[in-house]
Amino acid sequence: MPIYNPTNPEIWTGRKSGKNLYLHEIVKYTDLDSIVPDATSKTIAILGYACDEGVRRNQGRIGAVEGPDAIRSQLGKMPNHLNLNTKLFDMGSIQCAEGDMEETQNALSEKLAQLLKKSLFPMVLGGGHDMAYGHFQGIKKFLNGSRSIGIINFDAHFDLRNNANANNSGTPFYQIAQECKANGAGFNYLCLGIRKDANDKVLFQTANKLDVSYLENERFHLRYWKAVKQELHTFIAKVDALYMTIDLDGFSSAYAPGVSASSPMGFSPDIVLECLKVILPSQKLISMDIAEMNPKYDIDNRTAKLAASLIHYITQQIG
């Protein structure tokens, strides 16, 4: 069974202003049972997925189990620009126990559904990208077929590997696609930053068979912003709700060395920030996560700072 651990407040540190100028000064530590929905305020809920069993099964570099706290430690230092009526909660982390990734995913899906039912905006910190399967399941439970779901994935990898032998960090979107097919639901998946040196021919064939929308890395660049923007608008228009997932290994290792599968050939933060300026105003984004933070291989907290800065930007826009 997965373990649910509250966050150690000592992880959230930074300058002390006494005036709530920094995020570590306003974050509250709580659990779901203690939260009372408040229609007059926006509530952002941070939840950790401390699991890299899927990375291990996918023959990647383990260490992402420590990812959630590494991101928290950098986020706490950042300045607070949230509206006065916006609340920031740290809900703790779901810890994988005895390699039981599937139960950890199930626990994540239950937590996600509960957060959404209480009108919170979830931001999940990982952890291997296998969390995408649990995350999607939580959204699906919450919506219960009432709205179509679109997935926007910033990633070098499709993560559409066949799961016939085992589920892992490379199979989540294949699993989602198969369930959508079985349930007669549309599989709406947009992947931005795909690299040919990170996906074999079978994965491209699978993506095309599943009618996946994607932009390869050489086109996912500000030089081609008009086309990227159009791709986003087209995708967003055809769905009712959005789940956004940012895999840190999609970024160049110049920005994100601390990941399970690093490469210097990845994309840069500027194109992702421009995409966020399209996604966030759509008012369709209901949940998000950041995957594959691996502090074991980070350099000067570079990757953790990138993840924290992305979260910081998103929180300021929605809160």
Binding site membership for Mn(2+): which residues? 129, 155, 157, 159, 247, 249
H/E element, 279: helix 269-279
Which residue in this structure is represented by tokens 């651990």?
Answer: 5
How far is 296 from 286, CA to CA, in rounded Å? Answer: 31
Sign of the Cα torsion 122, 212, 308, 21 reads: negative
Report long-range pairs for 176-185 (Cβ below 8 Å, ≥24 apart): 176/132, 176/133, 176/136, 176/151, 177/210, 185/145, 185/148
Enumerate the known binding-site residues.
Answer: 129, 155, 157, 159, 247, 249
Query: Which of 178, 1, 170, 3 lies closest to 102 in space, CA to CA?
Result: 1
Please tell me the distance from the alpha carbon of residue 196 to that of residue 121, in angstroms, as a whole number: 34
What contacts 205, CB < 8 A, 6 or more positions away?
A: none
Angle formed at CA 122 by CA 119 and CA 128, multiple of 5 degrees: 155
- CA atoms of 190 and 213, how far apart (whole Å): 5
Rounded Cα–Cα distance for residues 19 and 40 (Å): 23
